[in-house]
Structure 1
């Protein structure tokens, strides 16, 4: 799901490079975008799993140390002007990336974030982080967010 960003950019005068990273589906997406392991959704993973998530650290390291470097080498970028954005679990991992690598991302957008997945850990990381290099941090949540998964979590 690209939020139709390509259509928007085709119609705008913005001079930007957008790199969309395809994610896995289902539980693997939660593994990749979850910086810490979580047992918040134990009702959806199989008996042989004790938790979900925990691969987000490696995902962010790949973005910062491999993907961003490759894009900066191949295209006329402004390396110090990089942003990161995501929704739901993408918002969680974007917030994590801003905290762990504030020098790499000047702007971050966290849209309808799934902070509940690692609520305690992300709050502690934010408190401990020096975010003075972050110029803008956009965060939102709608009044009509789907709460079905939250209801399932508490049953």
Structure 2
């Protein structure tokens, strides 16, 4: 089936295949985390009910989302018409521009929200202030690293 594809479709097929490996590894990691969480809940190592509920919901929803993406990608890989349609959709300049602008605006909102949280957190809790400030620093450092990396690469 793979031999029937155009070169661009074969490259996109390989890209999806590599991503599926990453998704599968992530899914296995989350399942292991769920097992460890279940053992911790059973042995009463996690005292707060709120924490148990949050972590269980977080891990279950993440594993469900990854499983849905895996099944969707597998279905796309098995259908040449859908593979071509998805490749065109993902490589369309307009879609790339929309995603780029969306990430840009979302980044501004995130930084603004974290800055407000760190200022308000200074009145409420030192831990909240430090976490928000730390997240701002992580964001800015990762931005600088990516900026210089892609500046040299592109």
TM-score of the superposition, structure 1-length normalised? Answer: 0.27
Larger helix percent: 2
**Larger gyration radius, structure 1 or structure 2:** 2
TM-score of the superposition, structure 2-length normalised? Answer: 0.27
